[in-house]
Structure 1
Amino acid sequence: MVGEGDPYSAREVRKVLQLPVTASLAWDPDAAAVFAKGAKAPKKFDSSPLVRSLRAAQTAITATVTANRADLTLQPVGSSR
């Protein structure tokens, strides 16, 4: 997960780390303060860019885990795949 364009794009991160970027989070300091500092939720918080991007991230992460569940299953020590 990355903050798109802050300071790097998902494409740049993916290229340098050679890892997939599952989601990007919106830059939304007012909504972030609710999570980080317990600030009062701004108007339309539930439809704010950050909350929308968090929901999209949850969906993308869930889909990635589901698609890769077999690879994520723990194998007993000493067993081969």
Structure 2
Amino acid sequence: MIVADNGIGFDMAYGEQIFEVFKRLHGRGEFEGTGMGLAICRKIVERHGGSIAAQGAEGKGAQFRFDLPFAAARGGDA
């Protein structure tokens, strides 16, 4: 699945670093946030056996792609 936005984007040189806890590419005075959102997303996706990656360009938004393994229906209670 791909989720895209038209926000501030980011330099691809930071494509992996943006998933680190408390990593911010801008100062607190410029943009809101704690630097935890993408770290939490990565942890959730990886705990479900998946992967997540980002692509972006400064001033042109970003795309976040995540893949999760398919689990067959087990029958019974869902």
Normalising to structure 1: TM-score of the pair?
0.26
Q: Give the strand-richer structure, 1 or 2.
A: 2
Q: Give the helix-richer structure, 1 or 2.
A: 1
Structure whose alpha-carbon radius of gyration is higher: 1
Normalising to structure 2: TM-score of the pair?
0.27
Greater RCO structure (CA 8 Å; 6+ sep): 2
